[in-house]
Amino acid sequence: MAVRMDVTPALRCRGLRRRYGDLIAVDGVSFEIALGETYGLLGPNGAGKTTVISMVAGVLRADAGEVSVAGQPMTPRTPAVKARIGYVPQDVALYPDLSGRENLRFFARLYGLSRAEARSRVAEVLETIGLAERARDPVGEYSGGMKRRLNIGVGLLHQPRLLILDEPTVGVDPQSRNAILASVEALATGGMAVLYTTHYMEEAQRLCDRVGVIDNGRLVAEGTVRELTALVGEHDRVVLAADGDLPAAAEKLRTVAGVREVSVGAGRLELLCGDGRAALPEILACLASAGVAVRSVELREPDLEAVFLHLTGKSLRD
Amino acid sequence: MGAALRIAGKDLRERVRDRSALLMAIVLPLVLAFIYDLIFGSAAIPRPFDYAVVDLDGGEVARVFVTDVLGEAEKQGYVTVRTASGVTAGEELAADGAVDAVFVLPAGFTAAVRSAAPAEVEVIGNVDSPTGVDVARSIARSYAAEIDASRLAVAAVLAGRDHADVPERELAAIAQKAAAATRPLVLEDVSAREKILDTQTYFAAGMAVFFLFFTVQFGVSSLLDERAQGTLARLLAAPIPRVSVLAGKLIASLALGLLSMTVLVVATTVLMGAAWGNPIGVALLVLGGVLAATGVTALVASLARTADQAGGWQAVIAVVLGLLGGAFIPISQVGGFVATLSLVTPHAWFMRGLAELAGGGGPGAALPATAAMVGFSVVTGAVAVIRLGKVVRP
């Protein structure tokens, strides 16, 4: 894990707000990222992560609030500030008829690199993302994982101070996902500030120095993983796959000693308990008396999933 | 400007890789121009109409029609004339398809003309040659009009005098002078004066301007493609002015249009013998046409939500404007409301400008048509830019 060192944050967001018609997509979001720090925005789909990212990257204008990059105010019309940011959108944003090298060269030139600089950086990035041997092939012929790697590569071309990654592992096979996570870790170690959005709790725990938990457009908590898990009081999480009247069973479970919170999902129950192992026999007995058939039981140590459940009353996958 | 050119360059590179653009911009118009010229080119070469005459009158006025009117037309190669022995023989010739039409000058025709009594030339038509029959009717009608004019002239000279008091010799002299004052009928080739394109040039130009509206859409509509495939967000995040994204798309459209038109002008000149006219005038018309096509397709794209939707709408607009504008058939020569209506299309102005050049005009002759097309471009382009600007707005 990298350590915050610079006094001027690589990114500072203050009171960001964005509305789409009647829907408030982002409501007063504020956070900072230091150089060398990886900051995760953790939240379910539709929580407002991509809208925050789009405002930070200058793609969207904020209705209210401000963004500054390395102390410089950022708006969609400030090219010099934009040049400090590497942006990797959630979709694979590449031109399929062009080769990998042509895609990289196009964006390198767009980011102001000279012809010679572009040639050199493109070669370096191709090596970094492991696509040097396929550089001449049209991107349309790449696998999903290769496209994802190239998608990230575009964001690295101009050696930005801040790299924004919007759910870069969505739809990626486990091997490619691991490679992507490893490369993000390496970038942060190299001193780059990283803003990383995900709804995968494991990724946030592995990569992020600090995590902001976002739900319904609002940042509901922020801190290191340790600080956040402390919020739920070091509680265990019991996940049960079950059949039957689960909402009724949840009501009964709330009366069981040691059970703090219960949430109901599709064919499953999630419980926060002070001591999961101790409470498990009584939980199972309660479910049996409620006529619920339990198919599997999983006991988990405190994690960000539990934090999210604790803070929002719902699962990250809801 | 640099960013716009880079985006345009990237778009052109993509279009080169995507063979459909090449097909639409060059191959299809060239092939269709060849096919149209092959099918309709020979039909457009005039052949003389074959007529027969049945002279049952044998008088002076009938003789003038046969020798001066039809004889003159035969000398110029527009008609061939033969004599039929009677009405039945004439009808048989027309029915057999041996002639296009038969003129019947009835007995007493000359006397009727001289006495101011009703006189008529009958035309028996070959049903398989409607054009030949129409031309025959026109010749007969023209001759009748000339006779009426002569009668009026004589009447004017004798106004206030009792015809009975006029000596026969004087009356005949006046009539002869009136008849000699005008030639009975004049046939001439008006293609140069009326500025009509030859068939090779017509079909080459028609197909070129028709497919131009499909070609330029590749540039403008790619803005919607960029939005769909997510690359627009990446362009908007780049340190470039947002307007350069839109400018790049328009530059790509213009470049594609100019490239395809240039290739088509050269190719049809070399391969089909098309005569486009003064090169500077043609260049002005091509530029105007490309600007107009870009404006119109950009406007259509600005109304669509997806590139597919834009492509569909643009195809419909291109076909309707092409048909109305005379890209397939010379609407401007039809006359009337349709010809006037065709002027709401850039196609009609493009063809009209080329016709001006075909009539021997220099670059100046192309200016009115070019100005009209630039007008289309300004109006449609301005609306399109305002609407498409929303796509790249933060």
Backbone angles phi, psi at B244, to 5 degrees: -70, -25
Who among B7, B229, B239 is closest to A79 (CB)? Answer: B239
Hey, is A76 helix, strand or coil? coil
Q: At what angle do helices A144-156 and A174-189 cross, to 10 degrees?
A: 10
Chain B hits for A138, Cβ within 8 Å: 17
pLDDT bucket at B370, cuts 50 / 70 / 90: very high
Question: Dmax of chain A from CA atoms?
Answer: 74
Mean pLDDT of chain A, nearest integer: 87
Tokens representing B262 are 């240039």
Distances (CA, A) of B53 to A230, B70, B100, B136, B145: 115, 9, 11, 11, 19
| pLDDT tens string A17-68 | 999 888 899 999 999 999 889 999 988 888 888 899 999 988 888 999 999 9
CA angle A15, A17, A19 (to 5 degrees): 170
Q: Euclidean distance between the first and final Cα of chain B, in Å? A: 20
What pLDDT does B36 receive?
A: 80
Per-residue pLDDT, averaged over B269-281, amounts to 88
The β-bridge partners of A27 are A17
Residue A100 has pLDDT above 70, yes or no: yes
CA B26 to chain centre: 23
pLDDT digits (tens, 9 = 90+) for A191-233: 889 999 888 888 888 888 999 988 889 998 899 887 888 776 7
Q: Does residue B272 or residue B279 have the better pLDDT?
A: B279
Residue B265 parent element (H or E): helix B243-272
When CB atoms are compared, the residue of A58, A61, A80 closest to B237 is A58
What is residue B191's predicted lDDT score, i.e. its pLDDT? Answer: 47
Q: What is the pLDDT of residue B160?
A: 58
C-beta separation of B84 from B195 below 8 A: no
Burial class (CB in 10 A: 0-12, 13-18, 19+), B88: exposed
Enter the tokens of residue B206.
């028609």
Question: B303 with B220: CB under 8 angstroms?
Answer: no
From A92, which residue of chain B is nearest by alpha-carbon distance? B230
Q: Return d(Cα B232, Cα B335) in angstroms, integer.
A: 48
Among the partner residues A59, A91, A97, nearest to B236 by beta-carbon distance: A59
Closest-approach residue (CA) in chain B for A60: B394
Residue of chain A nearest B19, judged by CA positions: A97
Ordered domains of chain A (ranges, CATH): 11-228 (3.40.50.300), 235-301 (3.30.70.100)
User: Considering only the top CATH level, what class is B49-181?
Assistant: alpha beta
Strands of B101-105's sheet, edge to edge?
B79-83, B49-55, B101-105, B122-125
Is B183 in a helix, a strand, or coil?
coil
Closest CA to A129 of A94, A85, A82: A94
Q: What is the pLDDT of residues B8-18, one digit of tens each?
A: 999 999 888 88
Inter-chain touch A112–B239, beta carbons under 8 Å? yes
Neighbouring CB atoms inside 10 A of B193's CB total 9
Q: Which residues of B touch A107 (CB under 8 A)?
A: 234, 238
Percent of chain B with pLDDT over 70: 84
DSSP A202-230: HHHHHH-SEEEEEETTEEEEEE-HHHHHH
Residue B190 has pLDDT above 50, yes or no: no
- pLDDT for residue A142: 92
Contact A79 B240 (CB under 8 A): yes
A241, containing H or E segment: strand A236-243
Collect all residues of chain A within an 8 Å Cβ-Cβ radius of residue B242: 76-77
Task: With CB atoms and an 8 Å threshold, state whether B230 touches A93.
Answer: yes
CA A6 to chain centre: 23
- Chain region(s) in chain B for CATH 3.40.1710: 49-181
- A83–B233: do the CB atoms touch at under 8 Å? no
CB A157 within 8 A of CB A104: yes
Number of residues in chain A: 318
Residue B234 burial (C-beta neighbours within 10 Å; 0-12, 13-18, 19+): buried
DSSP state of A201: H
- Give the DSSP letter of residue B278: -
- C-alpha to C-alpha distance for A111 and A79, rounded to whole angstroms: 9
Cβ–Cβ of B242/A58 closer than 8 Å?
no
Report the distance separating Cα A223 and Cα A206, nearest Å: 14
Return the residue of B nearest to A113 by Cα: B239
What tokens does B392 get?
A: 């790249």
Return the higher-pLDDT residue of B199 and A238.
A238
Q: How many other C-beta atoms can be found within 10 angstroms of the C-beta atom of residue B233?
A: 23
**Beta carbons within 10 angstroms of residue A8's beta carbon:** 12
Would you say residue A3 has pLDDT above 60? no
Closest C-alpha to A225, from A14, A38, A12, A23:
A38
Instruction: Give the pairing of strands A236-243 and A218-223.
Output: unpaired
Which residue of A76, A95, A109 is in closest CB contact with B6? A109
Q: Determine the residue of chain A that is closest to B15 in CA distance.
A: A97
Nearest to B230 among A60, A77, A89 (CB): A89
Distance of alpha carbon A236 from alpha carbon A309, whole angstroms:
12
Pairwise CB contact (< 8 Å): B14 & A79: no
- CA–chain centroid gap for A16, Å, is 18
Taking contacts as CB-CB distances below 8 angstroms, the residues of chain B near A79 are 239-241
Percent of chain A topping pLDDT 90: 42
| Nearest CA-CA partner of B244 in B236, B233, B254, B253 | B236
Q: Is the confidence at residue B196, as pLDDT, over 70?
A: no
Is residue B97's pLDDT more than 90?
Answer: no
How far apart are alpha carbons B133 and B125 in whole angstroms?
5
Residue A242 phi/psi, 5° resolution?
Answer: -150, 160
Confidence band, pLDDT 50/70/90 cuts, at residue B332? low
d(Cα B290, Cα B256) in Å, to the nearest integer? Answer: 9
What does the DSSP 8-state code read for residue B238? S
Task: For residues B364-391, give the mean pLDDT.
Answer: 88
C-alpha B209/C-alpha B327 separation (Å) is 7
Q: How far apart are CA B242 and CA B392, in angstroms?
A: 6
For the ranges B41-45, B142-146, B160-164, B171-175, the lowest mean pLDDT is seen at B41-45
A95 in contact with B, Cβ within 8 Å: yes
The whole-number average pLDDT for the span B116-137 is: 82
Cβ of B233 and A59 within 8 Å? yes
- Which residues lie closer than 8 Å to A243 by C-beta, 6 or more apart? A267, A292, A293, A295
Determine, for residues B242 and A77 on separate chains, whether the beta-carbon distance falls below 8 Å: yes
Say if residues A81 and A156 touch (Cβ distance below 8 Å). no
* pLDDT at residue A297 tops 60: yes
The alpha helices in A168-272, defined as continuous H runs, are 174-189, 201-207, 225-231, 246-253
Nearest to B234 among A79, A80, A93 (CB): A93
Q: What is the pLDDT averaged over residues A236-242?
A: 89
Nearest by CB to A80, from B6, B234, B239: name it. Answer: B239
At residue A19, the pLDDT reads 92
Query: Would you call A79 and B234 a contact, using CB atoms and an 8 Å cutoff?
Result: no
- Quote the CA–CA distance of B267 and B274 in Å, as a whole number: 9
| A141/B contact by beta carbon, under 8 A | no
Side-chain-facing half-sphere of B318: CA atoms under 13 Å: 26
Give the pLDDT of residue B150: 67
CA–CA separation, A104 and A1 (whole Å)? 30
Residue found under tokens 């070129």: B208
The confidence score (pLDDT) of residue A98 equals: 93
Scanning the structure block, which residue is given the tokens 């930070």?
A56
Is residue A264 within 8 Å of A247, Cβ to Cβ? yes
Q: Is the pLDDT of residue B169 over 80?
A: no
In angstroms, the CA A280 to CA A166 distance is 38
Dump pLDDT digits (tens) for B252-267: 999 999 999 999 999 8
**pLDDT at position A317:** 58
Q: Distance of CA A33 to CAs A11, A12, A71, Å?
A: 5, 7, 12
Please say if the pLDDT value at position B188 is more than 60.
no
Q: Quick one: pLDDT at residue B180? A: 57
Cα A181 to Cα A167: distance, rounded to the nearest angstrom: 11
A34 interface with B at CB cutoff 8 Å: no
Number of other residues whose CB lies within 10 A of the CB of residue B155? 13
